[in-house]
């Protein structure tokens, strides 16, 4: 570049500086702009935002934490493990027992309140029962033979033989005298087998016992007895001795 061109350039720069520093502030009332104008061949400098411009903040995207790889669950090795307690309660104390003396209770003595004895069946008279507890004891004497055989006369030719088998039975119906309702039907447990009882005395169940609990209600009863092939029977109504004089 020649000296003449350099001089012209300096003059132009001086004019620009004067206009920016002196003239423009006077006309506009603003502070002077000391930035250099853009020259050809030079890189643009930072530009100032226009008046009233507000920069809008761009929301930043939060960085995602790096995901951890899942921890593999160990497989069971076959070894048993012992578990402890998170909270432990105190064990209960061992109870102590007092041994009662070995005494055989004295059986309660019973008194006969009424008795019935007969060979055939039938309906008895009414009996009042004011006691809260009573027992019915009964015994039966059945036929000892349960098989009968008979040979007919030979006068008319060849003799024929007839036979019949019998089964003794016995039952008692206890009925309420107020409304004739059935209270209980009683039959000898195990049936009637006089031959067995005669051979084995320890298997003789007689007398049989039936127990009745009446509470505090006074009731009246009668008995309906059914017999079949028995020689005789006996029934006894028994009450505890401690009831004597109280009812």
Supply the CATH number for residue 131's domain.
2.60.120
Q: What does the block give as tokens for 176?
A: 């309420």
Residues 224 and 119 both lie in one domain? yes
Q: What does the block give as tokens for 47?
A: 């530009």
Residues 31 and 122 both lie in one domain? no
Residues 120 and 12 both lie in one domain? no
pLDDT digit string, tens, across residues 123-160 = 999 999 999 999 999 999 999 866 656 666 655 556 56
Residues 10 and 132 both lie in one domain? no
Residues in the chain, total: 247
In a domain, 99, yes or no: no
In a domain, 159, yes or no: yes
In a domain, 206, yes or no: yes
Does the pLDDT of residue 82 top 70, yes or no? no
Residues 116 and 227 both lie in one domain? yes
Cis peptide before 49 (omega within 30 of 0): no
Residue burial 128-167, b: 16+ Cβ < 10 Å; e: rest: ebbbbebebbbbbbbbeebeeeeeeeeeeeeeeeeeeeee
Does the pLDDT of residue 49 top 70, yes or no? no
Distance CA 114, CA 185 (A): 19
Closest to 45 in 3D by CA, of 34, 53, 37, 33: 37
Residues 142 and 31 both lie in one domain? no
Q: pLDDT-based confidence at 175, cuts 50/70/90?
A: very high
Q: pLDDT-based confidence at 59, cuts 50/70/90?
A: low
Judge contact between 134 and 212, C-beta under 8 A: yes
* Domain of 205, in residue numbers: 110-243
Residues 121 and 25 both lie in one domain? no
Output the pTM of the full model.
0.54
Number of domains in the chain: 2
In a domain, 152, yes or no: yes
More confident residue, 208 or 195: 208
Using alpha carbons, list the distances in angstroms from residue 207 to 111, 124, 136, 175, 188.
Answer: 15, 20, 10, 21, 9
Residues 122 and 223 both lie in one domain? yes
Closest to 236 in 3D by CA, of 202, 214, 218, 210: 210
In a domain, 50, yes or no: no
In a domain, 77, yes or no: no
Choose the weakest-confidence range: 10-24, 128-142, 179-193: 10-24
């Amino acid at each position: 570049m020649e000296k003449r061109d350099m001089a012209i350039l300096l003059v132009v720069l001086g004019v620009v500086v004067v206009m920016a520093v002196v003239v423009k502030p006077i006309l506009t009332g603003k502070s002077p702009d000391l930035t250099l104008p853009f020259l050809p061949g030079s890189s643009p400098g930072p530009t100032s935002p226009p008046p009233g411009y507000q920069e809008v903040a761009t929301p930043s995207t939060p960085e995602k934490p790096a995901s951890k790889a899942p921890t593999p669950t160990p497989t069971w090795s076959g070894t048993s493990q012992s578990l402890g307690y998170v909270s432990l309660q105190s064990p209960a104390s061992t109870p102590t027992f007092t041994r009662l003396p070995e005494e055989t209770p004295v059986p309660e003595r019973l008194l006969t309140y009424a008795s019935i004895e007969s060979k055939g069946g039938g309906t008895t008279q009414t009996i009042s029962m004011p006691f809260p507890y009573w027992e019915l004891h009964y015994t039966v004497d059945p036929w000892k033979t349960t098989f009968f055989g008979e040979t007919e006369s030979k006068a008319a030719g060849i003799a024929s033989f007839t036979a019949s088998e019998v089964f003794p039975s016995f039952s008692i119906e206890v009925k309420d005298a107020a409304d004739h309702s059935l209270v209980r039907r009683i039959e000898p447990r195990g049936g009637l087998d006089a031959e067995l009882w005669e051979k084995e005395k320890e298997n003789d169940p007689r007398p049989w016992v039936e127990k009745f609990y009446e509470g505090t209600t006074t009731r009246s009863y009668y008995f309906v007895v059914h017999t079949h092939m028995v020689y005789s029977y006996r029934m006894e109504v028994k009450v505890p001795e401690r009831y004597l004089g109280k009812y």
